[in-house]
Structure 1
């Protein structure tokens, strides 16, 4: 019996999405063990997380152009191969510099896999079957963060952290085989010219600025080099802003920020994500270095947030229809800030069940916020603007999460130095959680500026 393409194509793309989502969570659980073997401070390992996120932000905007120019199947298969090679290079890295470079290379593949895969689904599925196809795609996106932390913790505790990268090899080979056999090599006959100047400026700006911030504190490079990177990156991004408003078809169209609901997603959403982006970095360190838990125990605890996120996905539509986007974003922002700050009150004597409940509740709150933010971005967008809006929001999302890891690492390092501890201990964490909670709260004014009926049509609140 032939398998329906409505099921098969999303399943193939889901292999890539599952691999990418799981990879980002397994590494967070393994950071302390990786730092020990590489002879680095655990805080320095934030570079391994931010380099991957920066690579996503740099290359996602050109993924659609690449698919149109060279064919969706060609780019999708090549992206999986690059991701697999990057995973292998991560697994054989013996220094922090090698690991950071390998993670950046791996991110090039990640940046192309999922956007191109989604593009294939959108172009090969009828509107009547699109919701069903996308529902198949979202399952691995939800399962990856649930399975990732305990799997990474199990491998690190009972085997070796290097195997968390090698498990991508069989999944990648399966994905390449299925894509070769079942995915069409779709391409466009009318490919717009690539904004090469914009790409160079944005790539330089994002990479240099984020590397400079993440390496601050004399991680990997000397302080003056970090400062030079920060200045260079900031100037390149300013140059991109100047270029984008003068280019007829910019890589990322900043003129779209005039739309209020999109502006809320980019600015308010970025502040929220900066705070939340620090959690996958801080929580495993708190549980392992602060409380003395094994990576496996840490992974079992942190996956509670993802389980909460899965649950709330089932009720978000109902909540938005009942209360509207503005109310949900306003009150959920405050709840999100309080839940993150509350993590600072956890200690080694806190019952694990109470910790699990707090993480579960936090996951529910953050999932509701992310779903609302992602949807409100398209409230006032027409079909012709979809591609540009997706690029803009994707870049903002990856950069803000990467900045969250950096801010969380700097806050933890600063707290450790101020308290005069020779090593990281549990009392170093509460100032970091308080700071990122305040950053989340700073997104509140953007939510308050939304019109009461913002996104009413999306929420099903017509009339």
Structure 2
């Protein structure tokens, strides 16, 4: 007798809950991409150099990474509805603060607060669905919810570019207000406040170590080429980040209540997957920030056209979804990741061959191919990382992977911004295109490190 649960269509009583979680996911996904095409306009409005504006993206992504470890504990302690409602309120009010900002420092402050709210939206929403929706309907619910995450990046860059042209950059943040208000109104109707009867003490010392490590590493790299701070400040930040990361590794090994126990990394596949994810995402996650900047600052494209040029990347990502599983089943994780990692690196570096005169059809095809390869990379890495984790470690392992993904994005964007500034100082502002090309080649070459990591995947790794 087959006892495997069948997947059923989503019942009406759960549709409002899925809509609510989808609103949060859409807001978070949209805000990760909508800023990218608006950066030059924001820089002009705030009297800043657009090449120094990567901190606006880094501040948001870094605060998301730092807040992810809090999400599960807060939801268990205070209830999923209270935590989710608080996260929507924080995100919405911070969006208003971003729109009101009259200086870069003000904007960075509110982006950090916005990131804290954004970090809680998706994990807490997903946890609420997991606790409230029957397992037989969970797949249908997740499929519907994931559409919101796909629509956000699809329309984000174009919407951001269009808003900058027809209004001002402030509207890329004000757009969150009606969605946030709608989310707040639905929360109390659709989401019961489920709590856990016993919640362990929060690992505050471990959280502080992780926070200092992430901030130190990201800001150390980000300020390396900054004219505002001497080189020793960046070196001190980076060294502090490395030291606290090492301290957390010791903490995770010796403390029973650590956020992420060291026994996670006794699983060889998980350890390889985490390391691979960390380095592979530097280039891939920096591209949505780097390419709109190059198209506008170096090539002179308008914001709306720049946004449209980003759409083929998302379409390529969508097109790759049906082929990932068959590819891995036929060739195995090791071959797929080794070959695809090299192809992603080569594709990133090949953008150095493009100029302002590159035909539109060729540029669109280039972005589409990058979208396909990048999506193959991310999906393959994620499934490899989590596939062998025992059930009791799945939640902790998934949270750590989510944190590493956002930290890697933060460092990747900081690294891209630093490289542009170093090469601009070397080649001169009149050779801006050359500076971007050199940056792209460097980011592509970083994937060689990832190839060496994935080389250690056992040849007999099962799908």
User: TM-score, normalising length from structure 1?
Assistant: 0.94
2:160 is the counterpart of 1:156: no
Question: For residue 221 of structure 2, what is the aligned residue in structure 1?
Answer: 213
User: What are the superposed Cα offsets for residues 107-145 of structure 1, whole Å, 9 maximum, x if unpaired?
Assistant: 100111110001011112222222111111111111111
Q: Of 440, 452, 460, which aligns to 2:459?
A: 452
1:290-369 residue pairs with structure 2 within 5 A?
A: 290-369=298-377
Answer yes or no: is the 8 Å Cα contact 1:52–1:107 preserved in 2: yes
> 1:307, 1:363 within 8 Å by CA — same for their partners in 2?
yes
* Worse-matched range after superposition: 198-207 or 283-292: 198-207
1:178 to 183, 186, 194: 186
How far the C-alpha of 1:290 sits from its partner, in A, is 1.1
What pairs up with 1:111-260 in 2 under 5 angstroms?
111-218=119-226, 221=229, 223-260=231-268
- Distance in 1 between the 2:232 and 2:425 partners? 20
Q: 1:223 to 1:40 in 2, by over 3 A?
A: farther
Q: Provide the C-alpha distance between the structure 1 equivalents of 2:67 and 2:24, rounded to a whole number of angstroms.
A: 16
Q: Distance in 2 between matches of 1:81 and 1:138?
A: 22
Partner of 2:441: 434
2:287 to 274, 279, 289: 279
C-alpha distance in structure 1 between counterparts of 2:180 and 2:101, whole Å? 20
Give SS of 1:193's match: coil
**C-alpha separation between the residues in 1 aligned to 2:18 and 2:434?**
45
Task: Name the CA distance, whole Å, in 2 between partners of 1:317 and 1:248.
Answer: 37
Shift of 1:6: 4.1
Shift of 1:455: 4.2
Q: What secondary structure sits across from 2:200 in the alignment?
A: coil
Distance 2:299 2:426 in 1: 20
Partner of 2:82: 74
Alpha-carbon distance, 1:222 to partner: 5.3
Partner in structure 2 of residue 96 of structure 1: 104
**Contact 1:7–1:136 under 8 Å retained in 2:** no
In structure 2, how many angstroms separate the alpha carbons of the residues matched to 1:397 and 1:170?
Answer: 29
Residue of structure 1 equivalent to 2:118: 110
- Return the alpha-carbon distance in structure 1 between the equivalents of residues 227 and 316 of structure 2: 34
Aligned residue runs from structure 1 range 401-420, under 5 A: 401-420=409-428
Match of 1:461 in 2: none
Residue 388 of structure 2 is aligned to residue 380 of structure 1: yes
> Is structure 2 residue 441 aligned with structure 1 residue 443?
no
More displaced stretch, 124-133 vs 13-22: 124-133
Counterparts of 1:99 and 1:221 in 2: how far apart (Å)?
A: 20
Cα deviation, residue 163, structure 1: 0.4
Q: CA deviation at 1:11?
A: 2.1
Q: How big is the shift at 1:365?
A: 0.6
Cα distance in 2, alignment partners of residues 90 and 313 from structure 1: 35
**Structure 1 residues 446 and 188 mapped into 2: Cα distance closer, same or farther (>3 Å)?**
same
Quote the offset at 1:394 in angstroms.
1.1
Q: Displacement of 1:201 after TM fit? A: 1.4
For the 8 Å contact 2:219–2:414, the answer to whether it is kept is: no
**C-alpha distance in 2 between matches for 1:220 and 1:54:** 21
Separation in 1 of the partners of 2:422 and 2:333? Answer: 37
Q: Pick which of 190-199 and 306-315 moved more.
A: 306-315
| SS of match in other structure, 1:377 | helix
CA contact (8 A) 1:326 1:447 kept: yes
The answer (yes or no) to whether the contact 2:223–2:418 under 8 Å persists in 1 is no
Q: Please give the alpha-carbon distance, in whole angstroms, between the structure 1 residues aligned to 2:237 and 2:172.
A: 31
> What is the aligned counterpart of 2:50 among 35, 42, 47?
42
Q: CA contact under 8 A between 1:379 and 1:455: conserved in structure 2?
A: no
Offset, 1:197:
0.8
Q: What CA distance in whole angstroms lies between the structure 2 residues aligned with 1:337 and 1:375?
A: 20
Q: Is the contact between residue 81 and residue 187 of structure 2 (CA under 8 Å) also seen in structure 1?
A: yes
Aligned counterpart, 1:459: none
Partner of residue 460, structure 1: none
Distance in 2, matches of 1:130 and 1:314, equals: 20
Runs of at least 5 residues in structure 1 that lack an aligned partner in the other structure: 457-463
SS at match of 1:245: helix
CA RMSD, 1 decimal: 1.7
1:455–1:13 distance in 2 versus 1, CA, 3 Å: farther
Q: Evaluate the alpha carbon distance shift between residue 154 and residue 327 of structure 1 in structure 2; reply closer, same or farther with a 3 A threshold.
A: same
| Stretch of structure 1 that moved more, 72-81 or 170-179 | 170-179
Moved more, 224-233 or 382-391: 224-233
